[in-house]
Structure 1
């Protein structure tokens, strides 16, 4: 990831081109070495230690209608560091790559396996089974000078261009473009595929491992390499520990404005967050302090900070100089160890090799019952959800071919089949006929539209009609006949049968998917959705759901404040849930402790009902680098256990977090629950109806006409809702509150006569400085029981009806008291 400050420095949005990905970058002119005879000798000596890496890309959100297995390959470069086949490359080259094939400079292929990987340094090790390989020689990092000539060796753009050489100079050293470690800047052309290759000096020594370039219109000659001191640091850790053991302080730091824009600065780094329980917190470092130096070495930028920490191992003690409260103080800290994923990867290889369709000479669809020849360059571009339409293309872009299948009730005669295919014609018809010869008759039409030539064939087999449509560009030299002659074998091979016993036949029939799309957001989170889930436009609290909204997921991201912990966070949610629902209407599972994507996690299921249906919410809590991530997956409690396990497993097992991919604009996000006081009130003034009332801040003000209750239809009510209840005040001109009370009483009595379960109690009470008629109703609507209380009174020429409702499910002492306080807070003006 690029340093966010670098984007500000250049003033334009620059894209990183990571060389493992396919695509094209902007090339730069090749410079001539000072001695043209010397350069070939250097290349001849160093090229044997540089290898090309190719494999199948894995992960990410693939187009489910596309099938480019044989041609959708990723590639990069590596450098041999041990004669027995140990190769260093970039982590981003091999992280999402399977079926690795390593090709040495002499053209020999070897199967590769990733043994160690470290994303923060962007370095990885690959092992091949070989002996006697030529290894690279590494330069003294202190000898590197700006302006010296360097050579980049790698595999740019295409694997066919492996061991390509470009020449340039060292444009700069100590560059900070990734917020982690320093990089070397060079103007030697580094293009997609060069990543992981060698940057070599004129002694034939490796000075760096090429890693990235800037690619943007108007930006040239701007590539970067990992210097050999960082490479040596990572390799030593790989050998000693199997991973990079990084020291950990638990600080989130901000650079000064000067450092952010590239100006010299000695202002130090501001502490923006101290992780709870971290070594820094134990040493007394607080938010707002300024970190000046570590072990006596100044740290003005985050890159300097990381470079200094490279010199220490977890467990060692180090002195930090900080400015706190206007004073400069020294704190001694026992360094912790940064949590990281296991740097040793498993072998990610299947049995198909790079060519997943090796040995397949025919292709077809068993469910739609058709097959045809499978040329080596044929790529499936699109397939409809039901499999009735498939479009292919040639890898070289020479032609496209589509196959569509539709049900046909009656069998068509040859004449009608020919008439039907003729109706599909475009432009000028060159040929139209019914062909009886061969194993299967068909009707065809060939035509020309502009520079495009096409042939459409209709095949009929009982109740199905098959349409083949081939299109290609006109051959200007040989005319339109070159196309049919070249592609005739492919069209003639089409059959309306599928032989399941034929091992050479590839089946592309649509199979039911067990999972949905992978989604990502601006917080660096990625996870998989269950099958057929989509983004939800209807509920603010749910981001993704199924079609019926019976199942869904929401994601909440907030900042972790000093002193807050994972367990304290879960406890707040648990307390809030138990204070919201009465005991008989709620269930809470045990809190499950674990790890997820290398992070400590907590999981708990909350289930509740209003009296009818139970709904469960399974929550996953994660904390990383100053941010809290909460996943809430809701579903009906009665969902079968195996379906629940599948639902939760699909989402939870796929959760990945990469804070490096967090949007640059994400800052501090307050967790409202931390500062929430449910009993704190806010005063509302109704000048039209002459009263004020104090309402809890957590309640929501609504409009009475939107609520399904006819007594509020007049629109004079102030209406406040919360989970399972509401508070409303209605007013009308007049002073005869007893008449209004009698009207309400009649309605209650009629309801009680009609339904024995409708219980009502009427009484006069002293409240709000006057006599008030109080009605207390208890009833149940669709198994949802509730208690509703109405207060009728007259003040200042108006009759008021104050109504409170509390569902039995949320009839807790706290909720009842809040409603009573709201009633007692009423103050009536003149």
Structure 2
């Protein structure tokens, strides 16, 4: 019996050892990868010359000429760095920053983030052999946060570029950079998600990872297990200022498209449709007759823009572009931005409950977004309705300034559903329950026939920005 127990214990121990060895064998070994990739990763430091801001210019009194007691009071009250330790009056101050980058060609071209080198008067690149080189800014693109630098050197180590489209969620990735100035720090993790959209970053489908990224990592490479660059580490989500498990990288395919254009012409051309879109939530999907929330809802069109010329209308829900499905509204700018001006686009849309395909030509994204004049409500005929809002006709001047053909302006919010959904005086309503509003009379007629206990859509212009909102009438 004892012999049997000893045999069983030995078998269990052997099995546990085997499982442990197998588990260790499945974990990646980053040592060779880090050794081969590190020489092509660089540290970037910048210097920006700032205008002189003496204490008097900053609203800080001249402490030297104050009585001792008053001087001591101000010294305690003034935050550190103001009034004390500043550059002597008349001398120019300097701001410095640190970041990372990596070499993409052996003749000295380097890829990094735009925000690492933005507004820099001097850019210094330090290589892995500790040599330092002054860098020239070849070009930068704030929209994608990509910049290209050039140093005068030859036979430099380079990194091999991968295919970010082939990257899979759950795949191991490694980052190399200079967090807080610590050169060639290596951190690893997995791909958490792909195609992420961030606020004010409409043209980059970010790669989300759980790789530890901190200030100074910006511009450094994100590598797969084959040692290929699949992204540029760019941003982190943080409430503390440091790493919290959410890091974002620019896909290398996007970055190289931008880099190639910057090297050739110094600027980037992107596709453009000329639409303002918004997300389709559950209530909007119901109001437009969709089975589920998906697509990009057209809230506004630029007059004579590519989309307007191609027959797209306000209230259309774009479901696909050239056969590529638009699951979320953020998918559309990613796809359009990667197209070239002059490319053909076939948009599948839902309009009045029916599917149709519209063909149009992609335009060139303007340098600056167009702004529409704010609404200034003037007196006109009024109309009350069951929504708890009083509206008036638009004057010809208002229609011209807002660049719209019809609609009604809100003169007063009396309460009820209008107040609950956040409507304000001066808002302009152009569509209600999927119907265009061309007068206060039409608005009242539509309002009287609104269905109960079902999502209803309304298109509202506020300070030139259009969006669809939904509500329900429970009465």
Q: State the match for 2:146 in structure 1.
A: 123
Between the aligned partners of 1:79 and 1:212, the Cα distance in structure 2 is 17
Alignment-derived partner of residue 152 in structure 1:
175
2:31 matched to which residue of 1? Answer: 40
Tell me if the contact between 2:42 and 2:102 (Cα under 8 Å) persists in the aligned partners.
yes
Counterpart Cα distance in 2 of 1:87 and 1:669? 51
CA-to-partner distance for each residue in 1:337-385, whole Å, 9 max, x for gaps?
A: 11127xxxxxxxxxxxxxxxxxxxxxxxxxxxxxxxxxxxxxxxxxxxx
Deviation at 1:220, TM superposition (A): 2.1
The reply on whether 1:101 has 2:128 as its aligned counterpart is no
SS in 1 for 2:159: coil
Partners of 1:558 and 1:59 in 2: CA distance: 36
Q: Which position in structure 2 is the counterpart of 1:242? A: 266
| 1:171 is the counterpart of 2:162 | no
- Tell whether the 8 Å contact from 1:259 to 1:301 is kept in structure 2 after alignment: no
1:179 CA displacement: 3.6
Structure-1 separation of matches of 2:243 and 2:115 = 23
Please state whether the residue corresponding to 1:182 is helix, strand or coil.
strand
Q: How does 1:79-478 map to 2 (within 5 A)?
A: 79-157=102-180, 159=181, 161-177=182-198, 178-216=201-239, 220-257=244-281, 267-340=294-367
Q: CA deviation at 1:271?
A: 0.8
| Aligned counterparts of 2:25 and 2:94: Cα–Cα separation in 1 | 40
User: Is the 8 Å Cα contact of residues 559 and 669 (structure 1) preserved in structure 2?
Assistant: yes
SS in 1 for 2:244: coil
Aligned residues: 328
Residue aligned with 2:355, SS: strand
- Say if 1:315 and 1:140 are closer, same or farther in 2 by CA, change over 3 A: closer
CA contact (8 A) 1:74 1:97 kept: no
**TM-aligned CA distance change 1:287 to 1:52, over 3 Å:** same
Instruction: Compute the displacement of 1:318 (Å).
Output: 1.6
- Greater strand percent: which structure? 1
Give the number of the structure whose alpha-carbon radius of gyration is greater.
Answer: 1
C-alpha distance 281-58 of structure 1, shift in aligned 2 (>3 A): farther
Contact 2:44 2:123 in 1 (8 A): yes
The SS at the match of 1:44 is helix
SS of residue in 1 equivalent to 2:148: strand
What SS is found at the alignment partner of 2:187?
A: strand
**Greater fraction of residues in helix:** 2
Deviation at 1:335, TM superposition (A): 1.6
Structure with the bigger RCO (C-alpha within 8 Å, sep 6+) is 2
**Secondary structure of the residue that 2:104 maps to in structure 1?**
strand
- Could you tell me whether the CA contact under 8 Å between 2:49 and 2:94 is conserved in 1? no
TM-score normalised according to structure 2 size: 0.60
1:128 to partner: Cα distance: 1.3
Alignment of 1:602-617 (within 5 A): none
SS state at 1:215 partner? coil
Deviation at 1:316, TM superposition (A): 2.2
In structure 1, the gaps of 5 or more residues are: 1-32, 342-522, 526-555, 561-570, 577-620, 624-664, 673-830
* Alpha-carbon contact 2:138-2:263 (below 8 Å) kept: no
Deviation at 1:248, TM superposition (A): 1.2
**Following the alignment from structure 1 to structure 2, what is the Cα–Cα distance between the partners of residues 106 and 671?**
63
Residue by residue, what CA displacement relative to the aligned partner does 1:45-65 show, whole Å, maximum 9, x if unpaired?
Answer: 111111111112468998954
C-alpha displacement of 1:141: 2.4
Match of 2:42 among 40, 51, 55: 51
1:327, distance to aligned residue in structure 2 (A)? 2.8
